[in-house]
Amino acid sequence: MTGERLRLMAVHAHPDDESSKGAASMARYAAEGVDVLVATCTGGERGDVLNPHYPPVTGGPAEMNAIRRAEMAAAAQALGVRHQWLGFVDSGLPEGDPLPPLPEGCFALVPLEEAAEPLVRLVREFRPHVITTYDPTGGYPHPDHIMTHRVSAEAFAAAGDPERYRDSGEPWTPLKLYYNHGFSMARIRGAHEALLARGLESPFGEWVESRAAREIPEREVTTRVVCADWFDARDAALRAHATQIDPTGFFFAIPRDVEREDWPFEEFELAESRVPTSVPEDDLFAGVREVVA
Ligand SMILES: [Zn+2]
């Protein structure tokens, strides 16, 4: 290919989200020569230590922030991608009934134009052809995930418009916007059935039943990227987030040989395209390669 180098930007809420959603696809594209940049909206300061095998962090948010920065750098290295912080403060996951108010100054409370500005600026600098983010529900209802969707949609809409964000760099129009589909019901059910079919124990039985009972409508999967050869890189990136990811826990519950055989891809939903393409697709750059080359 003699054309311009392809560029992919993945927008995430917290350090570790990039390693659990679309990570193997990013590693594959990076290995194939695509310039891949992860943009993380918040520092994950309000995250708890979620890995029971990790020693307690006693230094409060400042220490947590420092640890998570180091973890994020190691994860980016494992995936072979570049990384940029957008500089907002973690909103935390509110719990209780009624839910407590969000903490002052957190990402989810920042007005949209102000919250989207650093991302618009980064889009204009990095000039991605494709952007990935979360669906409008956030994928799960963490306020930072919903806000990440909102700033990504805003940047996709506005970055190419010279009348918008006038002081935030030269306009650049990204060509496609995708939503990650890390944990579709089809994937969990497929893993559940594959484990049972092999006579193995499945940790997903309860999930499959509760999801079926609640009848949550499934979002559309338009695009499956085959990336099994990069599952090892994804797993190394997950393990790099040692405060968050239990190496014996949920993310490692599917035996890797079963996963490779039954589910060798990651799934995405094409949200918007400014180039002609037809679904289903097997490449985030379908329709883009032709335009760029
Ligand atoms: Zn998150």
CA–centroid distance, 94 to ligand 1, in Å, is: 13
Q: What's the N-to-C CA distance of the chain in angstroms?
A: 7
What is the value of pTM for the model shown?
0.94
Kindly give the interhelix angle for 112-126 and 143-158, rounded to the nearest 10 degrees.
60
Span 260-271, average pLDDT? 94
145 in a labelled binding site:
yes
Name the pLDDT band for 250 (thresholds 50, 70, 90): confident
Max intra-chain CA distance, the chain:
60
Task: Work out whether strand 130-133 and strand 7-12 pair parallel, antiparallel, or are unpaired.
Answer: parallel
Tokens read off for 260? 């490779």
CA–centroid distance, 77 to ligand 1, in Å, is: 19
Omega prior to 111 cis, within 30 of 0: no
CA–centroid distance, 146 to ligand 1, in Å, is: 10
CA–centroid distance, 50 to ligand 1, in Å, is: 12
Residue 97 phi/psi, 5-degree rounding, is -140, 110
Span 92-99, average pLDDT? 90
CA–centroid distance, 16 to ligand 1, in Å, is: 7
In the sheet that holds 130-133, the strands lie side by side as: 82-88, 35-42, 7-12, 130-133, 176-181, 265-273, 223-226
pLDDT at residue 2, as a whole number: 58
Q: Flag whether pLDDT at 253 surpasses 90.
A: no
Give all domains of the chain, ordered by start, each with its CATH number.
Answer: 7-183+220-287 (3.40.50.10320), 185-218 (no CATH)
CA–centroid distance, 291 to ligand 1, in Å, is: 33
Q: Which of 92-96, 98-102, 212-216 has the lowest mean pLDDT?
A: 212-216
Chain Cα centroid distance, residue 91: 17
CA–centroid distance, 293 to ligand 1, in Å, is: 35
Where does residue 90 fall: left (phi above 0), alpha (psi -120 to 50 degrees), or beta otherwise? Answer: beta
Query: Cα–Cα distances in Å, from 192 out to 45, 92, 139, 216, 262?
Result: 34, 31, 20, 18, 11
Strand partners, 281: 223
What one-character DSSP code corresponds to residue 143?
Answer: H
* Tens of pLDDT, residues 18-31: 999 999 999 999 99
Amino acid letter, 37: L
Chain Cα centroid distance, residue 28: 15
CA–centroid distance, 196 to ligand 1, in Å, is: 30
Tokens read off for 180? 């990650």
CA–centroid distance, 289 to ligand 1, in Å, is: 31
17 in a labelled binding site:
yes
Residue given tokens 């997950």 in the structure block: 238
pLDDT at residue 1, as a whole number: 47
CA–centroid distance, 40 to ligand 1, in Å, is: 10
